[in-house]
Amino acid sequence: MIVVAEAGGAASFLHLLGNDLRWQIAVTLARGDYRVQDLARLLGRPVNLLSYHLAVLRRARLVREHRSDADARDVYYGLDLDRVREMYTQVGERLHPALTCREDPALAVVEGWSRRPVRVLFLCTENSARSQMAEGILRHLSRGAVEVASAGSRPTGLHPLAVKVLAERGIDISHHRSKSLEEFRGQSFDYVITVCDRIKESCPTFPGAPERIHWSFADPAAVAGSEESRYWAFQVTAKELTTMIHYLLITIERQKGAA
């Protein structure tokens, strides 16, 4: 069994991702969340082999898992980008302190964007929490340089805790409204990102072949219990969305630079 914490941490991390198949898995999961059968189709490897390497990556806490809201028999796997960044930072510091960049990765990315704006659409079922928060966070982090919208297959209304939690982060979405994805049919987007397992399974097609990405997030609005428990569910969702969107911005910048 390979554990990152063993044998010096940084060296073990490099050894862990030095395996060709684990590297392919990590690169694939860096783009979005997938089930093991999806990975088998994309990578052309048997499910049992992928399951073994996913277990290795999970033990190292580089991969997280989430049981599907649409079908509890399915499990989505995603790369823990914060954990990977932490380990890469340790590797850089071990080699030479000058290799470590401590700047916010989203800030430098959006400066100087003068070409056609990138368009992003976030989708979930009710367009009340996850996709609304993602829309607000991306607009805030990109300083308006990305044209972003959100919608749902069965819109119900903006959740007040989504508004509250983002307001605490300096992001105002109080003016948002829940929108049906029907409002956006026929429009072109560069990225269509599903943040709900149910909408991922029924996501419509959009003109121009946008890049499709899936982030498997549990619905914070579905959390039962005390007001404090529900509040913290929204806090966790906001934190994880912020992480994913930071890295999305870097991806967008690289693709714009290559265009």
- 26, 87, 120, 196: the catalytic one is 196
Q: Is 101 a catalytic residue?
A: no
Based on DSSP, count helices (H) and strands (E) in the chain, helices before strands.
10, 6
> Around Cβ 212, how many Cβ atoms within 10 Å?
16
For residues 25 and 17, give the distance between their C-alpha atoms in angstroms, rounded to a whole number.
9
Residue 172 main-chain phi, psi, to 5 deg: -100, 110
Residue 32: count other Cβ atoms within 10 Å of its Cβ.
20
Q: Which residues are 83's β-sheet partners?
A: none
In degrees rounded to 5, what are phi and psi of residue 7?
55, 45
Q: Are 208 and 189 in contact (CB under 8 A)?
A: yes
Are 109 and 252 spatial neighbours (Cβ–Cβ below 8 Å)? yes
Angle (nearest 5°) at CA 22 between 17 and 24: 105
Give the CA distances from residue 111 to residues 87, 145, 247, in Å, rounded to whole numbers and listed in that order: 27, 9, 16
Instruction: Write down the catalytic residue from 91, 110, 203, 223.
Output: 203
The encoded tokens of residue 109 equal 């990315």
Selected catalytic residue, list 29, 87, 124, 145: 124
DSSP bridge partners of 139: none
Give the DSSP letter string of 187-253.
---SEEEE-SHHHHHHPPP-TT-PEEEE-----GGG--S-HHHHHHHHHHHHHHHHHHHHHHHHHHH
Enzyme catalytic residues:
124, 196, 203
